[in-house]
Amino acid sequence: MPDFTSVFRPLTQLPGYRSGEAPLPLRRVQQTITMISFLISAVILTVMSVLTGIEVFMRYFFDRPLGWNVNFTEQYLMVGLAFFGVTVAYRLAGHVAVASIYDRLPDRTKKLVQLLSQAVIITAVLPVLVNGAVAAGISFGLNETPAVGGSELPLNYGLWKSLVPIGSALFIATVLIDFVRELCSDWSGPITDVTRPNRQTETEGGAL
């Protein structure tokens, strides 16, 4: 049987958050979440590129634009890319960070900064998850769909709204694992090493 996990092994070679001392089950959960988010984001980017090419071809060669692709891109593809891509960006340390200050902090202070930033992320994203789930539930309950005869696909609005709580839940789970792991580890310094794109990997054998 082919080893499909080998496709994702390059992910462990990329910059990002690494913790060689983390318990295996937690690492496996984070790897799985990262792989799922990475796959979904890659598929969304591919679909966006293909749709753009088809739209240009249909518009300029046949004068018959798709029409439905605009709302589909805005509601499904862009929302999905934002809420699944944020997990990938977090795991790969691709977000904005003041590294010049953080790298000069004492190890104990680094740990506190990590815990504080993770707590802020969880606190900020949790309302997004809850409100997104409520909005999706309302749309499903009211069978909210586009007006008949419009250019939008006849899909329930609850489908694209569901992308918000699902992506938020995956993101919170990823950050929460880091938070609990950091909180329960030795307080002499952070257990998580942050390897950024412009730095050489310091932790050998670590995994995303």
- Print the SS3 string covering 61-78: HCCCCCCHHHHHHHHHHH
Give the mean pLDDT of 12-36: 66
Q: What is the pLDDT of residue 150?
A: 67
Expressed in angstroms, the distance from the first to the final Cα of the chain is 25
Angle at 86 (CA atoms; ends 81, 91), nearest 5 degrees:
135
**Residue 32 included in any domain:** yes
Q: What is the pLDDT of residue 23?
A: 54
d(CA 3, CA 145): 42
Task: Look at 153 and 131; give whichever has higher pLDDT.
Answer: 131
Q: What is the pLDDT of residue 47?
A: 92
Residue 114 clears pLDDT 90, i.e. is over it: no
- Arithmetic mean of pLDDT over the chain: 79
Binning pLDDT at 50, 70 and 90, where does residue 189 land? confident
Structural domain of residue 135, as residue ranges?
Answer: 22-195
Residue 116 clears pLDDT 60, i.e. is over it: yes
**Residue 126 included in any domain:** yes
Binning pLDDT at 50, 70 and 90, where does residue 68 land? confident
Residue 12 clears pLDDT 60, i.e. is over it: no
**Residue 208 included in any domain:** no
pTM across the whole model: 0.78
Residue 129 clears pLDDT 70, i.e. is over it: yes
**Residue 201 included in any domain:** no
- Please tell me the total number of residues recorded for the chain in this structure: 208
Number of structural domains, the chain? 1
Tokens of 148: 């008949």
**Residue 2 included in any domain:** no
Helices assigned H by DSSP within 92-156: 99-102, 107-141
Q: Which of 186, 139, 183 is nearest to 160 (CA)?
A: 139
**Residue 1 included in any domain:** no
**Residue 138 included in any domain:** yes
**Residue 31 included in any domain:** yes
Contact indicator for 182, 191 with CB cutoff of 8 Å: yes
CB contact set of 65 (below 8 Å; sequence gap of 6+): 55, 58, 59
